[in-house]
């Protein structure tokens, strides 16, 4: 049976200033093993190419092949780090919604005024590789909201239950808009 790798379960914690939701990016041992193999092969190819160049065996594309293997090794290592240690941190406080993506504490974040954030919703679809077989494991989920006329999203590839829990947490934390008297 076809398996879609989902992230590990999201966790949330609330304190007096707001709510913090952590979504890890671990996709499973299959993708992790593939990128370990990918990196080892690219490093080995680069090493062989470097040895050939240093021994005077230089072909017309030797240096290009060396640089290409370096680029692929760096790309593979970056993806491997993202799979192993990447995470999204969603923070809700009284005035802002912050979405931070990081690896080992280093990353980038976006900040949105909570008053301008539209209602959050769960967007789900059946993975095309499931060949029409509906099963909860084949459903891919992301969370999205509107902000200044654009749709923003986070938490791609979540499991359905995690996405619904995050949506529920957001709705319970966010104060409902006031109606005029």
Q: At 128, give phi and psi (nearest 5°).
A: -65, -25
Alpha-carbon gap, residue 44 to 63, rounded angstroms: 15
pLDDT computed for residue 94 by the predictor: 79
Sequence ranges of the domains in the chain: 11-27+88-173, 31-82
Lowest mean pLDDT: which of 16-20, 102-106, 130-134, 142-146? Answer: 130-134
Pick the residue with more confidence: 138 or 42?
42
Q: Is 25 helix (H, G, I), strand (E, B) or coil?
A: coil
Pick the residue with more confidence: 178 or 9?
9
* 144-148 CB contacts, 8 Å cutoff, 24+ apart: 144/120, 145/97, 145/117, 145/118, 145/119, 145/120, 145/121, 146/117, 146/118, 146/119, 147/112, 147/116, 147/117, 147/118, 148/116
pLDDT computed for residue 24 by the predictor: 83
Q: Express each pLDDT in 113-164 by its tens digit.
A: 888 888 788 887 776 666 666 666 667 788 888 888 888 888 877 777 778 8
Mean pLDDT of 35-46: 87
pLDDT computed for residue 18 by the predictor: 80
């Amino acid at each position: 049976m076809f398996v879609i790798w989902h992230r590990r379960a999201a966790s949330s914690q609330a304190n007096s200033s707001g709510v913090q939701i952590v979504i890890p990016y671990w996709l499973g041992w299959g993708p992790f093993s593939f990128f370990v193999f990918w990196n080892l092969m690219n490093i080995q190819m680069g090493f062989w190419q470097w040895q050939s160049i240093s021994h005077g065996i230089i072909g017309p594309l030797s240096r290009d092949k060396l640089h290409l293997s370096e680029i692929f090794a760096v790309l593979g290592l970056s993806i491997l780090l993202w799979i192993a240690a990447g995470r999204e941190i969603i923070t809700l406080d009284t005035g802002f919604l912050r979405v931070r993506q990081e690896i080992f504490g280093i990353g980038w974040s976006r900040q949105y005024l909570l008053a301008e954030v539209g209602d959050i919703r769960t967007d789900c679809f059946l993975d095309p590789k499931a060949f029409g077989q509906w099963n909860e494991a084949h459903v891919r989920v992301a969370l999205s909201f509107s902000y200044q006329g654009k749709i923003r999203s986070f938490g791609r590839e979540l499991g359905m239950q995690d996405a619904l829990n995050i949506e529920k947490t957001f709705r319970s934390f966010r104060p409902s808009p006031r109606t005029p008297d």
